Amino acid sequence: MDLSYILNHLGEDRAQYFGAVAPPLVQSSIFAFPNVAAMRDAFADEYGRHLYTRGNNPTVEILRRKVAALEGAEDCLMFGSGAAAMAAGVMTHLVAGDHVVCVAKPYSWTRALLRDLLGRYGVAVSFVDGCEVAYFEAALRERTRLIVLESPNSLTFEQQDLAAVAALAQARGIRTICDNSYATPLNQSPLALGIDLVVHSATKYLNGHSDVVAGALCGSSALLREVFRGPYMALGAILSPHDAWLLLRGLRTLQVRIERIARTTREVLAYLEAHPRVRQVHSPQASANPQLALSQRQLRGASGLLTIELATGEVAAVERFCDALTRFLMTVSWGGYESLAFPVCAVFPPGTPLRPGGDTNLALVRLSIGLEDAAVLIADLEQALARL
Ligand SMILES: *Cc1c(COP(=O)(O)O)cnc(C)c1O
């Protein structure tokens, strides 16, 4: 199945809706039945039928089919956020007394879910540096049920060898879940490497327009039926039909956006790597990345995230740089049509030292490259770097 077929047509049965080219937004919360027997059938198979929109909705279903096909998955469930998709995927596997191994630097709310929230329900978690498979192996316990991966992560882009971790887990009957938000389904296919579940913050590249918060969970039908019967229906953190409809529109241009963003990002990366006021550029594609060989093997291409470490000893200079940017909007999140800058120092109170300890480094500024011309973005960075 070619990519443009998935993005333009898959899951869209236009004969059912008057040949309408744009799919209908089925805003209904409930679906009625002609007789009791039909309603009973729906109750018996809520996963496959239409009864109530917390379970299934025709507009959301079109999106599920497309995202599943993009990931090479049998099925996909959509959620009201990436965090909800991760929570559902994780909770499906765990009871009190179980143990989880997670990469050391996951998305902050993945860490909070595992450590703070599930910790209250008797689940133990170990965070390990994911760059060596042996570190995962060393952390396994009798009750380890799940390994949580994020490759690459979205700030400093550490990666895991997904095939090797999947093989380790499969041999012991441990499930694996991988956050694939950075790479998008176009640039990395964790399921094909043996991972059980893939999570996306669809808020990022899949939607791509900074107007929807959404999540996706992809995997086998058997596994997703477990998720559906468990946290999907019980927690009810679903994607609304309207947001699904917007996401369908965002998804139409996924391929062209990613291609364009990858090209621009290469140019911006080369510019920043050569700049004397940038101490280091973090990116899976950066020439100084110690995991460059893994990037080349595991990723098919680049996305638009880069994190720069500014060559300065003071937070005030980082602030001057960020405040001077005009084409990069300063905010959280990433993956939209517009370029963004996220200064790590904004998370900390004023007066925090540049290196407060541990891995934290307030000289880091993450850039999300959008659809602007590379020359425009480079000119903006040039004038802001001059203020350092
Ligand atoms: C944003 C993000 C999430 C959470 O997604 P939301 O849609 O904001 O809930 C999860 N993982 C990564 C890597 C993210 O960047």
* CATH of residue 224: 3.40.640.10
Q: How far apart are CA 44 and CA 110, in angstroms?
A: 34
Q: How many domains does the chain have?
A: 2
Same domain, 353 and 304: yes
* Closest CA to ligand 1's atom 7: 82
Q: Which of 173, 158, 172 lies closest to 103, judged by CA?
A: 158
Separation CA 178–CA 147 (nearest Å): 8
Q: Atom 1 in ligand 1: which residue has the minimum CA distance?
A: 201
Residues 322 and 264 in one domain: yes
Domain span including residue 352: 254-385
Q: Which of 113, 178, 181 to mutate to test the pocket of ligand 1 (most atoms within 8 A of CB)?
A: 181
Interatomic CA distance for residues 112 and 130, integer angstroms: 18
CA of 240 to the centre of ligand 1 (A): 18
**Confidence class for position 359, pLDDT limits 50, 70, 90:** confident
- Do 228 and 362 share a domain, yes or no? no
Q: Where are the beta strands (DSSP E) in 16-169?
A: 75-79, 99-103, 124-128, 144-150
Q: In sequence order, what are the residues at sequence separation of 6 or more whose Cβ sits closer than 8 angstroms to the Cβ of residue 8?
A: 252
201 and 105 both lie in a single domain: yes
Please identify, among 219, 251, 283, the residue that sits at the C-terminal boundary of a domain.
251
- Residues 229, 176 share a domain: yes
CB atoms within 10 A of CB 16: 11
Write out the two tokens for 337: 């049509």
Q: Which residue, among 359, 211, 339, 207, has the nearest Cα to 282 in the 3D structure?
A: 359
For residues 199 and 217, the answer to whether their CB atoms sit within 8 Å is: yes
Asked if residue 292 and residue 244 are part of one domain, the reply reads: no
With beta carbons less than 8 A apart as the criterion, state whether 302 and 187 touch: yes
In this structure, the answer to whether residues 181 and 57 fall within a common structural domain is yes
For the beta carbon of residue 191, count every other beta carbon within 10 angstroms: 22
Q: Which of 210, 231, 251 is the last residue of a domain?
A: 251
Asked whether residue 55 falls in the same domain as residue 105, the answer is yes
Pocket of ligand 1 (CB under 6 A): 81-83, 107, 150, 154, 179, 181, 201, 203-204, 213, 215
| Residue type at 129 in one-letter notation | D
Same domain, 92 and 115: yes
Task: Tell the residue nearest (CA) to atom 11 of ligand 1.
Answer: 107
- Assess contact for 374 and 267: CB atoms under 8 A: yes
Average pLDDT, stretch 108-114? 98
Domain at 264, CATH number: 3.90.1150.10
Average pLDDT value for residue range 271-288 = 98
Residue 199 CA, chain-centre distance (Å), reads 6
**Same domain membership, residue 209 and residue 262:** no
pLDDT exceeds 80 at position 1: no
Distance 345 CA to ligand 1 centre (A): 20
- Ligand 1 atom closest to Cα of 154? 13
pLDDT digit string, tens, across residues 246-263: 999 999 999 999 999 999
What percent of the chain stands above pLDDT 90? 99
Q: What is the pLDDT of residues 138-156, one digit of tens each?
A: 999 999 999 999 999 999 9
Q: How far apart are CA 1 and CA 382, in angstroms?
A: 43
Q: In one letter, which amino acid is 3?
A: L
List the structure tokens of 130: 């994911």
Phi, psi of 129, rounded to the nearest 5 degrees:
-60, 120
Condensed to tens digits (0 to 9), the pLDDT of residues 4-28 reads 999 999 999 999 999 999 999 999 9
Is the pLDDT reported for residue 174 higher than 80? Answer: yes
pLDDT reading at 378 higher than 90: yes
Among 194, 228, 251, the domain-final residue is: 251
**For the segment 198-217, what is each residue's pLDDT rounded down to a tens digit?**
999 999 999 999 999 999 99
> Are residues 152 and 98 part of one domain?
yes
- Which residue's CA is the closest to the ligand 1 atom numbered 5? 82
